[in-house]
Every structure is written in structure tokens, then in C-alpha cells.
A = this chain, B = another copy of it.
């Protein structure tokens, strides 16, 4: 049920003016005599009138709402991104409609259809890869769309992202400069064009540039979650030759790996150094705190939303891909090793 119905008409009657005048007052139209404006305002107060955004939307053909499609709000990486989006949105008097997609193409479709019917003005799509089906779905809906923390291989949509390869490079280079030469990697999925492949690339390049041979068998693939980090680390710890450092493609895996190390009775960073990726809170709260690459999650959301707002206002947006700066945060999970 919607609210009690005090309409613009009631206000008009009460103030002895036409509905047009009330509308003008509401929209701060300049051409209203101060005196009548006051009369109208009074009536509005008296009747406790508030405008009906639905009716307004119907007329204006804009809803001041944007859809936010996200894998899972309860996954540690995203809440901060959403917060960034929401802050910018509410500054512009927009609201967001959250859709949890769970990396499920079917849910994606359903949500997209829903957003279409709810007539959102734009969409922010987070983290999942953009495949052919999605791309055509996006094109059909004919509203501005911004990708955050993912990119469109075909480059048809604007995106906000960090330079994953570069970030991974810096993380691993840091370990190399610390003297580590035996560095394993707990990577993401092999076929993830987003957080998977580029981070492995960065890892390899850092090794090469530091004249360390890349050993493919030291690259393990997890799913960014705690358990996979833990399990893979257990695996690593069984080997004859242990690495002196491990680079994980997510903080959650890094923490899983760290727990496995500690559980086994080794010391961090005494025996093994660890670097994570993302900069979520757990990397800071873990003991020892984990060195990591910080992704500017809040800014990614905020920047994506600002971009979308520009597009909604019809402003020209030149850049097709916004690369935000990441940051290597040095904490207590890494030590320098002596060369011998």
C-alpha cells in the first residue's frame, strides 16, 4: 500500500491556486510570485504533503535509480564498493537497487529483466566477466552501463578497474627485492581474465625481471576463498623444498595460507613470508598483519557511479577505461632474507 493520498490537487485547492502553480513551486520555478509561493508552501505544510516520486518518474521518464549488479554483497570485497556507489548516488538524489548475482548467468538475466521493468536509469555491473550474452543484454536495454572491477573484452562499455598485472608485479617484485627467490603463488582461476590471468602475469614478469626462473609447478589455482588458500598451503608445506615466500591473489586466500603455516608450527614471517591482494580488513586484523595490495574499493564504487552520473546527464565521457591507483601496503608478514 502506498501512502495516504495528499496530492498536488489538494494542495492547489487549499491554497486557492492551480495545480500548475503548485508544481512550479515544488520545482523551484523562478516565475512564481513570492506571495503565492508562500501561500502554497503553507498549504503544503498544513497538509503534510509530499510529492509522489512515482508519478513524477512516469512523467519525466527517469526514475533516479540505478541498478547495481554484484556477485554477493556478503562477500568481503564488495560492501565497501557498494558504499562508494551509494554515497555518490545519494548525493545526486539517486537510489540504488541491489542485485546479488552469485556469478550465475541465469540470475543475471532475471535481474536484468527486473531492472528493465523498474526502469532504472543506469546500471553498475561489478566483478563478473562480460560474456556475449550479457553484452547483448546490456545493449538491448539501451541505458548507460558502467563496469566496476571488471572490463569488457570488446571494449563497448566504460569500466573502472585497477591495473591487476602491475599490482601483482609490484607485490612480487617487493618480495624479490627483499631477497626472496623461492616464491610460490596461490592464484585465482586459470580462466579468469580479470583477477586470475593478469595477476599471474605480473607474478611472472616480476620473477623474470629479477632473474628468477618461473616454475609453473609453483603456481597453484584457488578460488579466492579461505579454504582454498588453506588447502593449497598445506599442499605446499608437504613439498621437499619450501618456498620462502607466497603471494596469494586474494587476502582471504592469504589468510587461509597463513593459518596453515602457523598451524604447521612455522613462523610468519620467520619461516615464510606472505603477501595478499585486495586490502580487505582481515589482512590488517590478522596476526601478524598481512602485507597486501590495496584496491581502492570505495573509490572504485564512487568513481564508477560518478562516471555513470556523467553519462546520465548526457555529458561526454572521453575515457573508456579508468585505471585507479592501487597501493602496496607493507605490514608484518614479510621479512628480508639474506642472500647466500
**A→B interface (CB under 8 Å):** 1-4, 48, 50-55, 57-58, 61-63, 72-76, 78-80, 82-83, 86-87, 90, 93, 95-100, 111, 113-114, 116-119, 121, 140-143, 226, 252, 255-256, 258-259, 262-263, 281-282, 284-287, 298, 312
**Complex CA–CA separation, A256 to B53 (angstroms):** 45
Q: How distant is A242 from chain B, measured CB to nearest CB, in Å?
A: 19
Q: Could you say which residues of chain B place their CB within 8 Å of the CB of A259?
A: 285, 287
Cβ-defined partner of A73 (8 Å) among B57, B86, B90: B86
CB pairs A–B below 8 angstroms (22 shown): A1-B121, A1-B143, A3-B141, A3-B142, A48-B140, A50-B113, A50-B116, A52-B119, A53-B118, A54-B58, A54-B119, A55-B58, A90-B111, A95-B98, A95-B99, A95-B114, A96-B97, A226-B284, A258-B287, A259-B287, A286-B286, A286-B287
State whether A119 and B3 are in contact (beta carbons under 8 Å apart), knowing that A96-B98, A113-B50 are contacts in the complex. yes
Cβ-defined partner of A100 (8 Å) among B57, B72, B87: B87
Q: Closest B-chain residue to A252, C-beta based?
A: B285
Query: Is A100's CB under 8 angstroms from B83's CB?
Result: yes
Q: Closest B-chain residue to A144, C-beta based?
A: B1
Q: How distant is A26 from chain B, measured CB to nearest CB, in Å?
A: 11
Q: How distant is A66 from chain B, measured CB to nearest CB, in Å?
A: 11
Query: Is A95's CB under 8 angstroms from B95's CB?
Result: no
Query: Is B255's CB under 8 angstroms from A285's CB?
Result: yes
**Complex CA–CA separation, A1 to B298 (angstroms):** 26
Query: Is B63's CB under 8 angstroms from A54's CB?
Result: yes
Q: Closest B-chain residue to A78, C-beta based?
A: B79
